[in-house]
Every structure is written in structure tokens, then in C-alpha cells.
């Protein structure tokens, strides 16, 4: 019995690893964040393993049932819509429960959106902090203010629909001259890595319709004060 955490492409289907395909073909069951999204990938690679939904809206209710399946001897893989499970996606709860129950867990290396975004940004990547998604409403301003004194490069995920408002809010907190990079459509045909100050990025994205998942890489506070 083993739980496999299997990264899936963040854009280009060719970014799937040989090993990931082998694991998904060999396990007894695949837990998928959205079976409709994952079915496209499975069909592309000829993977016929049964799937069942596992997402933030049902993971608490289905957790015990999944653990029972693992303890019965099944090998199960967890995939999300894109990237590595557990990184701003379901994964933590089931891993914690497996550890409690002494069930073996193996995470395959593979696609994660923030790594290429960080490297492409041109900002220091020797030390960085992963913020993930900022709160949408309650606690959002507090979370942003907490970034003001952070000296490491910061990585923030954002929806294309909130990007411009988030850039505007960050200008108020971090200052319009703070360097940043907005990466979108990573590994896809229309990939963009827009670099500049927060003000320049705000003006750039205010003039266009923003599409695709967003990774924002923001320079840390390098002032001497």
C-alpha cells in the first residue's frame, strides 16, 4: 500500500515525466482534483486507471474512505489540475493522515509553476518565501502589510481576474518602485514574463485582458532601514 503524489503539467502536456505516466498506469486508483480536467491528460497518455474526485470541497469527508482503501492494500495516486499536489492544492491532509497511519507516501519530482516563474524573474532566488494565494477578503490587508518588511524574494499566486487590483494594493503597501515579475501561461504557447516595477506592471496589465494562471515574483525589501 502506498500513496503517490504525482505532479502534472502546468501547461504543456509534454512536461509529463515518463515515471509519472508509469505510476499512474500501475496504481489501483487515481484521486483527481477535477476528473474532467485530468481525463484529458489520461487520454493523451493512454492511462485507463479508474479515477475519483478528491478536492477541497470533499477531502475532509472522503479522507477516511481513502485511508481505508490504502490500508486494504491498494496503491493510490493523487493528482491535481496542474502542478504538484500540496502546493496551493489538496494534498496536505491526506499526507498527514498517511503519516499518522504509517502508510508509505512517495512524492514524484515534477512540474511546479513557481519554480520557472522564480528563475525567469531575474530576481534573487538564493532565498525566497512562497506565499501562495493571498486571502481574498478577510485578512487580505493584514497579509499584504506583513510582506512589507520581508527581505527574501516573495512568490504569490493570483487569479487573472484579481491581478490588476492586487498590483494596485501592493503599490500602496510596498511602493510603486518595488521590482517584480508577473508570469502567466507558463510553458504554453503564449507564455509571458512581464518584468518591471509594480507601477509599470500595473499599467501594463491595466491595458489588456489578462488570461491564464498567474505567478507574481516580488523583490524583497532591500532598504537599510
pLDDT tens-digit map of 34-70 = 999 999 999 999 999 999 999 988 888 999 999 999 9
Cell numbers standing for residue 7: 505532479
The two most distant CA atoms of the chain are separated, in Å, by 59
Please spell the DSSP secondary structure of 128-152, one letter per residue. Answer: EEEEEEPPSSTTHHHHHHTTTT--S
State the pLDDT at residue 224. Answer: 58
**pLDDT tens per residue across span 181-219:** 999 999 998 999 999 999 999 999 999 999 999 999 999
State the pLDDT at residue 141. Answer: 86
State the pLDDT at residue 219. Answer: 97
User: What average pLDDT is seen over the chain?
Assistant: 94
DSSP 3-state helix, strand, coil percentages of the chain (rounded to 5)? Answer: 35, 25, 40
d(C-alpha 27, C-alpha 46), whole Å: 14
Rounded to whole angstroms, what are the CA distances from 198 to 5, 171, 174, 180? 35, 6, 9, 6
What percent of the chain lies above the pLDDT cut of 70?
A: 99
Report the predicted TM-score, pTM, of the whole model to 2 decimal places. 0.90
Sign of the CA dihedral 215, 163, 12, 121?
negative
Amino acid at each position: 500500500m502506498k500513496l503517490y503524489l504525482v505532479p502534472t503539467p502546468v501547461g504543456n502536456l509534454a512536461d509529463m515525466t515518463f515515471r509519472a505516466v508509469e505510476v499512474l498506469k500501475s496504481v489501483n486508483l487515481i484521486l483527481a482534483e477535477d476528473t474532467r480536467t485530468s481525463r484529458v491528460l489520461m487520454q493523451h497518455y493512454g492511462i485507463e486507471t479508474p479515477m475519483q474526485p478528491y478536492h477541497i470541497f470533499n477531502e475532509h469527508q472522503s479522507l477516511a474512505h481513502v485511508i481505508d482503501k490504502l490500508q486494504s492494500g491498494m496503491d493510490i495516486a493523487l493528482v491535481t489540475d496542474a502542478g504538484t499536489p500540496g502546493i496551493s492544492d489538496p494534498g496536505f491532509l491526506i499526507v498527514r493522515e498517511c503519516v499518522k497511519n504509517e502508510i508509505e507516501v512517495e512524492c514524484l519530482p515534477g512540474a511546479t509553476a513557481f519554480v520557472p516563474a522564480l528563475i525567469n524573474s531575474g530576481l534573487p532566488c538564493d532565498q525566497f518565501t512562497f506565499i501562495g494565494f493571498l486571502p481574498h477578503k478577510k485578512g487580505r490587508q493584514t497579509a499584504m502589510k506583513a510582506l512589507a518588511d520581508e527581505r527574501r524574494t516573495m512568490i504569490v499566486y493570483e487569479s487573472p481576474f484579481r491581478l490588476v487590483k492586487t498590483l494596485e494594493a501592493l503599490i500602496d503597501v510596498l511602493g510603486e518602485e518595488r521590482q517584480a515579475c508577473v508570469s502567466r501561461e507558463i510553458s504554453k504557447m503564449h507564455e509571458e514574463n512581464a518584468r518591471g516595477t509594480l507601477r509599470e506592471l500595473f499599467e501594463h496589465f491595466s491595458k489588456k485582458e489578462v488570461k491564464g494562471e498567474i505567478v507574481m515574483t516580488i523583490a524583497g525589501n532591500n532598504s537599510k532601514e
